[in-house]
């Protein structure tokens, strides 16, 4: 493969916490050599659609609101139906992350929804790839994947706290996801090049 993996992060954030995660995913992916573009799903321009269409991987991100991805993200997901119709995102890499106030807060539904959206587009889902942290008595809240999710990166910040309070372990977990997506995308691109399947 003679080019960097192209990774887009398509996300929504109301108050900035999910943006902190998006920036961490970006940092991790860039650390692994990916070219990363951020797409704000509440304001998708034609150039953003072109960026998404040209991406090797798309990472979905949104706060969990009322037990699922935010309404703005769902509106974006509906707008991707044109790509669904043309199967133009088929075989891209997909992954996801979410933030909410509660430690659990039904975030698994948001991550599961992202995986379903990727499956509808016939994409390949990359999970978090971490054992759960902070689940044995000698472990700590500072562990990677401290909230114990598998389908993507999840973070929790109490509802009255600002973006400075996003937990360092959650930021590191999001960085891990970005590195994993970039690495896996590079492997897929190299494999396709060797096999001559584009
Ligand atoms: C309408 C609404 C619904 C919410 N629903 C949930 C929820 O289901 N679970 C949860 O843990 N937090 C919930 N929250 C808290 C949000 O997840 C939290 O404000 C959000 O993740 C902050 O991220 P942001 O700064 O990126 O917008 C809700 C907040 C609002 C305003």
Cα 161 to ligand 1 centroid, rounded to whole Å = 12
Whole-model pTM: value is 0.98
The domain limits of the chain are: 6-195
Q: Is-contact 114 60, C-beta < 8 A?
A: yes
- C-alpha to C-alpha distances, 24 to 21, 47, 82, 91, 168, nearest whole angstrom: 5, 23, 30, 25, 10
Quote the pLDDT of residue 64: 98
Closest ligand 1 atom to residue 102 Cα is 11
Cα 127 to ligand 1 centroid, rounded to whole Å = 23
Quote the pLDDT of residue 113: 98
Residue nearest to ligand 1 atom 1, measured at CA: 65
Residue nearest to ligand 1 atom 3, measured at CA: 65
Residue 195 is classified by DSSP as H
Q: Is 155 helix (H, G, I), strand (E, B) or coil?
A: strand
- pLDDT tens column, 13-43: 999 999 999 999 999 999 999 999 999 999 9
Ligand 1: list residues with CB < 6 Å. 13-18, 63-67, 99-102, 105-106, 159
Quote the pLDDT of residue 1: 57
Closest ligand 1 atom to residue 98 Cα is 21
Q: What's the alpha-carbon Rg for the chain, to the nearest Å? A: 16
The CA distance from 179 to 14, in Å, is: 25
Quote the pLDDT of residue 102: 98
* Lookup result for tokens 């996003």: 166
Residue 45: exposure state from Cβ atoms within 10 A (0-12, 13-18, ≥19): exposed
The CA distance from 125 to 82, in Å, is: 20
Quote the pLDDT of residue 2: 72
Residue segments in the chain with a per-residue pLDDT below the cut of 70 = 1
The CA distance from 57 to 51, in Å, is: 11
At the fourth CATH level, which superfamily is domain 6-195?
A: Flavodoxin domain (3.40.50.360)
Q: Is-contact 157 101, C-beta < 8 A?
A: yes
The CA distance from 126 to 153, in Å, is: 11
For the chain, the residue count is 198
Q: Is-contact 25 175, C-beta < 8 A?
A: yes
Residue 197 is classified by DSSP as -
């Amino acid at each position: 493969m003679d080019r960097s993996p192209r990774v887009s992060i398509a996300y929504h954030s109301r108050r900035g916490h999910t943006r902190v995660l998006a920036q961490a995913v970006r940092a991790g992916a860039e650390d692994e050599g990916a070219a990363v573009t951020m797409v704000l799903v509440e304001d998708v321009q034609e150039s953003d659609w072109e960026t998404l269409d040209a991406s090797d991987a798309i990472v979905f991100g949104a706060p969990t609101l009322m037990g699922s991805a935010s309404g703005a993200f769902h509106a974006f997901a509906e707008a991707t139906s044109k790509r669904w119709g043309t199967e133009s995102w088929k075989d891209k890499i997909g992954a996801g992350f979410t933030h909410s106030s509660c430690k659990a807060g039904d975030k698994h539904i948001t991550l599961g929804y992202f995986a379903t959206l990727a499956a509808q587009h016939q994409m390949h889902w990359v999970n978090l790839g971490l054992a759960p942290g902070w689940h044995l008595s000698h472990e700590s809240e500072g562990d990677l994947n401290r909230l114990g999710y598998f389908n993507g990166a999840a973070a929790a910040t109490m509802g009255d706290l600002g973006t400075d309070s996003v937990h360092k372990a959650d930021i590191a977990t999001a960085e891990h996801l970005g590195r994993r997506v970039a690495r896996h995308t590079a492997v897929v691109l190299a494999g396709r090049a060797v096999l001559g399947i584009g």
